[in-house]
Amino acid sequence: MKFFKSRKIIIIICIILAAVISIAILAHKNSLQAITADAQQRTSAAFKGTLDVTLSGSGTVSPFNRKEIVSAVDGVVTENYLEEGKSFKKGDLLIKFNDSDVQLSVKQRENALNQKRMSAVDSNISNGALHITAPFTGRIAEVSISEGDEVKENQVLMTIVEDSVLKAQVVFENTAASQFNGIHTVQVHLPDFMTSLSGKIQSVSQVSGDAHVIVTVDNPGSLTSGNSVWAEAKTASGAITSNEGILEFTKKETITAAVSGKVSNLTALKDMKVTQGTILLNIAGDDLPYKVESKQLEIEQAEVELKLAQEKLDFYTIKAPFDSTAVSVSNLDPGDSIESGTSLAIMMDTSKMTFDLDIDELDISSVETGQKVNVTCDALEDMEIIGEVTAIAPEGTTSNGVTSYKVTVTIPGIENLKSGMNVDAVIQVYNKENALLVPVEALEKRGDKYMIWVKRENQQTAGRENNPVVPEATGTAKRPSSSAGNQSPAKRQRQPAADSYYSGAVPVEVAIGMYNESYVEITSGLNEGDMVVLPALQASSTNKNTNTQPQGGGGIGGFGGMGGGMPAGGGMPGGVMTGGGQTGNRRQ
């Protein structure tokens, strides 16, 4: 009984297995039949048209130029022209601080530098000796050394004066300086010589109620510094006389030794007339080379100190760095004190605006400065702004294995476009008219070549293996596939259906140009009007509702996974950047 029961169970199991297998075979057969029935051959004609290739993205606009004005010094405000929203031209005065102390410091350093330069010795050295020369044309008034004397640095050697013309300041009491308008000469009286000379008025100044006049007289030969004089002037209201003044040399300079050493070749004598540059004596010393270098270093140090003082002085007067508008202005009045580092205002040049786009490394080679950019802003409806690419970052930023590059776009400033607003941009990478175009999904890559299935009359798929367009290692051509490698067993099982789908078409090798998400330019291999076969649409049906999707998947890499007429496969290196509703691709 047990034997018969076991046998009965086995028979039942076999019957069930047979039923399952039959159902599976029938379902698979029906599926293949459905695919074959629904996979109607899709075609498109190669046509001439305009190809646009763009890259898109979004960014935040900022002023073309923006600078925060910050005080670099502590100070007291003396002038302030900054006002919120006020426009300035480059170089206009914005604000000024009291700089009297710094002005004095600059003047002191200028004087120190001039003194160092006057004592320079390098240009007057020859044959190991320092030449002492006359600083101007004049008369040697006094000589303090003799031939062969040993002198020390800064020791007085002689005094030279310019006494061909002497000057004196005389005061006309209770006289307005305006009374000397139009008067150029006065009569200068010399009590010591009981005579008078014609004098020239050099300047007139008003000091309280008196007129202070500086006059000069030509020296007939006997005049010298210290002689008493007074002047008489003829004015419109009559002759007026001055108080007594004293004659002075117009120039006087004490010559000192720039270095220590021994006096030689002394040619200067008391009361000798000399001209500027005349060698008066030589000083020879063992330390002369070191003195030359030391004097030069002193001059350089004085120049540095003067430069620093002048730079500090510049901090007390702040001017507009460029044509701009002042915003975020601090409220300061003359007399207010500020500290270094205080923010005074922000200057913005909004005549142009800029923003940055992040462009993928696969697309950056397509971007060039000067390219046209169409810009829109959600805050400004129905307005398109035309800009251009003005800068491309030489170095990228890498994140999660992807590198992108900053691309700067400049647009004209327009009313109501504010700093900080978000904009969408489309860069016109490529535009070609009368290009031969086919849908990008028709393209398939095999190795480093591209092919398209083209309808040919009286040609069947049976002859494809003899077509030499894109041979495989076995010598046969490949069917459209998203993979550049061998097909999987599952795909090989669909071979009969694929052969039926591509009936009447042959693979043709083509060369491509630029492409976008929809069309690719064919530069060779096709003619206008050629009918190309597009990948099949796979039918999947579980009820009366039916969805279609592209099978296999030709196309250019970078468009993978995009259905509904978009390419579904990879193969060609490429990339897509999407933003603002536009899509762009890199140049091949």
- 3 state SS for 41-96: CEEEECEEEEEEEEEEEEEECEEEEEEEEECCCCEEEEEECCCCCCEECCCCEEEE
> How far is it, in rounded angstroms, from Cα 485 to Cα 508?
19
Tens digit of each residue's pLDDT (9 = 90 or more) over 336-382: 999 999 999 999 998 999 999 999 999 999 999 999 999 999 998 88
Dist CA 350 CA 85 (whole Å): 12
pTM above 0.75, yes or no: no
Alpha-carbon distance of 65 to 59, in angstroms, equals: 17
Segments of the chain with pLDDT less than 70: 1-15, 17-20, 22-39, 119-128, 457-499, 538-588
CATH of domain 54-63+346-432: 2.40.30.170
The Cα 217–Cα 196 span in angstroms is 10
- For 140, counting Cβ atoms within 10 Å of its Cβ (0-12 exposed, 13-18 middle, 19+ buried), the class is buried
pLDDT the model gives residue 191: 95
Res 465: pLDDT: 37
Neighbours of 493 (CB within 10 A): 12
Instruction: Compute the distance between CA of residue 35 and CA of residue 497 in angstroms, rounded to an integer.
Output: 8
Tokens coding 154: 């800064």
Q: For strands 343-360 and 324-327, give the pairing.
A: antiparallel
List the chain domain ranges: 42-50+435-580, 54-63+346-432, 129-284
Which pLDDT score, from 0 to 100, does residue 258 have?
Answer: 79
Could you tell me which CATH number the domain at 42-50+435-580 has?
2.40.420.20
Say what the alpha-carbon torsion angle 328, 353, 376, 397 is, to the nearest 10 degrees. -100
CA distance 529 to 98: 82
- Is residue 348 within 8 A of residue 66, CB to CB? The reply is yes
Contact 553, 536 (CB under 8 A): no
Helices then strands, each counted (H, E), the chain: 5, 39
Residue 129, both tokens: 């000796």
Same fold, 42-50+435-580 and 54-63+346-432: no
In order of 141, 156, 257, 266, 308, the CA distances from 149 in angstroms are 20, 12, 12, 10, 42
Q: Is the Cβ–Cβ distance between 199 and 215 less than 8 Å?
A: yes
